[in-house]
Structure formats: C-alpha cells, structure tokens
Amino acid sequence: MSTTAEGRLYVARTVHDAVAALSDRGPEGAPLAGATWIMRTPLRQEQHKPFYVAISKIEALRQLTVHDREISIGACVTHAELASQLSSVPDCRALALAASNAANPAIRQVATIGGNLCAANFAAADLVPALLCLDAEIELEASGGTERIAVSRFLDIRASLKPGHFVRRVIVARAPRHSVHVRLPLRKAGDYPVAILSLAVTLDASGIVNSAKVAVGSVELTARRWQELEADLINRPLDPQHAADKAESHCGAFQARDGVEAPGWYRVKVLPSLVRKAVRALREQA
C-alpha cells in the first residue's frame, strides 16, 4: 500500500450521532465531509487527526431548501449540488457561479460547502468570498445546541473551534440583489485561482447602486470584504471603468500572499481587471 492513513473513521448517520462521536474524541477528533482537503493533509506536511467523524452521509446535512425569506444549505451539500440547485435562484448567482467553476467536475461531486468554509489554510476557497458578499450566516452545531454567526465571524474563529463543534448549515437571506463571481485561474481547471472576486449589489429603480458588498479571495490568507471599494460603488450607476479605477486606488489595502502559482504583487495587480469584469457582468445581469 503506497499510502496508508493512520487515523480511524466513524461514519455518522445523524447529527446527534456526529455530535456524540466528536464530543467523545475531544481534540483528537475532527469532522470529515467531502474529504478532498483532509486527504491532502500529508501533502501539506501536516499530521492527520487521530480520529475523523464522517458527516457527509447525514441526510439532514445534505438538504438545500429555498424558502421565501432565506436559503438553507446543509453543510454537506456539494459544489455540484449547489451549482445545480441554485442555478435558477437569481439572488444567489454568485454562489452558483462559485460552485460551478471551482476545482474540476470530479472534485465538485464530493467537495462540500462546509468543507470549503472549514479549510482554514485554503486561501483559494471559491465559496467563501461568494458567501461573504451574500452576507451569509453559519449555524454551528454542538452538544449544547446551535449557534448562528456571520460568515466573517466564523472565518475569524474557525481554526479554534471547540471540540465537538461543526458547521450544520449555511443560511443566505433572500434579497432583490444582483451578484457575480469572477476568478482568475492560470488554466481552465486544475489549479487554484490567482485571485477571486465576488460582488453583490442592490439597485434602485433607476439603476443606482443602493448597497454593494465586495469580497476578495485567494489574495490574502483568508478571504475578506473590500469595504474601501464598496463605499465608492454606492450612489452611482454600475460603471465598470469607474469601479476598476477605484479598485486600483484601493489595492494598497491588501497584504497579498506569495504562492507557487503567483507572487503576491500579481494577485493584487489583477484585482482592478476582475472588478471591471465583475461590474460589467452585473450591468448585463441587471
């Protein structure tokens, strides 16, 4: 056997079952969803946890439900399922685009939204900036009950979650928004994007931007909102060149990371172009 993981695996069938198994194992255990990130642990020169609790067979975590006021997405909904089920939900377009373009088809069949959010060292996670621009919330499950927090807050605490806690679902509030997700990979597939940009706006009847949420992924270690740019997009029509110029003036806000696929300066350099592309796409959408 050329590779043998040393850990053990427990396949939970209910949320209660998973909470109990994770609580039993304490800091030695961790949830496992699609496994595409955790299976590469040795390649990152990291150690596997001694024990994993597989949660992707839990039916309750595989449900995606579109309600009038919110969309509820179970933590183990895959990228492929997201792309398919959100394709006809206009206010969630950024998330559908992110899910349908991430990685490659075989990865999208198993990689989950919960896994994408929990991979703390994965700077190029596509779904994270999309969820940030949609103001999504996370419902955390633990033995003491559930807790609902903003995605931005979750990103701050995800590496230090207490044992036994895991993401149960993601909630996106419905709104009359337009959104888009653009990314710059070096190939069509099979590599991580140099930079990712998600943008959501609401417009008034005359096409003036009432609110704007911009999120950037893959540039810094963790995706985040670009609030300096958001302020410059509000109270005017969607104008790709104006947005790109403003993006250029705010690029100093980033502490870009170097990586094998691109140096940090290049990740920042391409942002104005991504902003122009995103605003152009939004204008066509609107």
Residues that bind another protein (CB under 8 A): 1-11, 17, 20-21, 24, 32, 35-36, 39-40, 43, 48, 52, 54, 56-57, 80, 103-107, 109-110, 188-191
75 vs 233, beta carbon nearer another protein: 75
52 vs 166, beta carbon nearer another protein: 52
Phi-psi region of 137 (alpha: psi -120 to 50; beta: other; left: phi over 0): beta
Per-residue tokens: 223: 């995706």
Least Cβ distance, residue 12 to another protein (angstroms): 9
Least Cβ distance, residue 212 to another protein (angstroms): 31
Q: Kindly tell me the burial class for residue 223, based on how many C-beta atoms sit within 10 Å of its own C-beta (0-12, 13-18, 19 or more).
A: buried
Please tell me the distance from the alpha carbon of residue 48 to that of residue 35, in angstroms, as a whole number. 12
Going by the DSSP 8-state scheme, the letter that residue 167 receives in this structure is E
CA angle 150, 156, 162 (to 5 degrees): 95
Going by the DSSP 8-state scheme, the letter that residue 208 receives in this structure is B
13 vs 153, beta carbon nearer another protein: 13
Least Cβ distance, residue 269 to another protein (angstroms): 25
Least Cβ distance, residue 20 to another protein (angstroms): 7
43 vs 205, beta carbon nearer another protein: 43
Least Cβ distance, residue 45 to another protein (angstroms): 14
Least Cβ distance, residue 162 to another protein (angstroms): 21
5 vs 149, beta carbon nearer another protein: 5
Going by the DSSP 8-state scheme, the letter that residue 78 receives in this structure is B
Asked if 176 and 32 touch (Cβ cutoff 8 Å), the reply is no
Please tell me the distance from the alpha carbon of residue 199 to that of residue 215, in angstroms, as a whole number. 6
CA angle 171, 176, 177 (to 5 degrees): 80
Q: How many helices (H) and strands (E) does the chain have?
A: 11, 12
194 vs 282, beta carbon nearer another protein: 194
CB atoms within 10 A of CB 89: 15
22 vs 92, beta carbon nearer another protein: 22
Least Cβ distance, residue 104 to another protein (angstroms): 3
